[in-house]
Amino acid sequence: MNHTRQIVLGTYNQKKRDELQQLLSPLGIELQTLKQYPEAIEVVEDGESFAENAAKKACQQAVHLGQWVLAEDSGLCVDALKGAPGIYSARFSGDEATDESNNDLLLEKLEGLPDEKRGAHYVCHITLSDPAGNVVLETEDRCQGRITTERHGNHGFGYDPLFKIREYHLTFGELGPAVKGLISHRAKASRAFVAQLNELLGKNPQLLDKK
């Protein structure tokens, strides 16, 4: 391929970039993060759903940067908490939230609940915007699991040490990136996204060419 296809991932999270880059590499796409764009804006995530937040992050950043922007919004929905923390997963424990403080609060809120009442699922919604701010592609998927009573494993990020996959009897924190890269909410939504993007590029190979 004698040209470079480029997409900006609307996040500073390198781990998310690495997961997606593996899937996009076969399409000859170079995935960048906002770290490479000092002029990037801070998009206010005040949508009422994962889809709304993903669209805001993709479209507003795309118009500002004049680039194709891929954004995803994901989070943990816990049955016993009526779907919380949901779209507030990253700041569950407050504006200064960390993975540790979020996990601590989740454990506190579920304290004493039996295993059968600790059901949860991760959701990931992915949106691609063109430089004019138009949504071109969207995909969404989820991954079912349960919340453990204590942390297990050091892999991943977010709530991964507490999110147990029933079929494996292990958390994402224990399973590691290889398995997570196959079965996670982000992995499934990403694969669907890549399949649709591949189809789109088949019709217009120059769509994402770097200017």
Annotated binding site: 11-16, 73-74, 157-160, 180, 185-186
Q: Which of 18, 46, 73, 104 is catalytic?
A: 73
Active site residue 73: yes
- Known binding-site residues for Mg(2+) equal 73
CB atoms within 10 A of CB 73: 27
What whole-number distance in Å separates Cα of residue 120 and Cα of residue 104? 16
Q: In Å, how far are 27, 41, 67 from 5, measured between CA atoms?
A: 8, 23, 11
**Which residue, 200, 71, 70, 86, is CA-closest to 142?**
86
For 83, the 3-state DSSP assignment is: coil
| Enzyme catalytic residues | 73
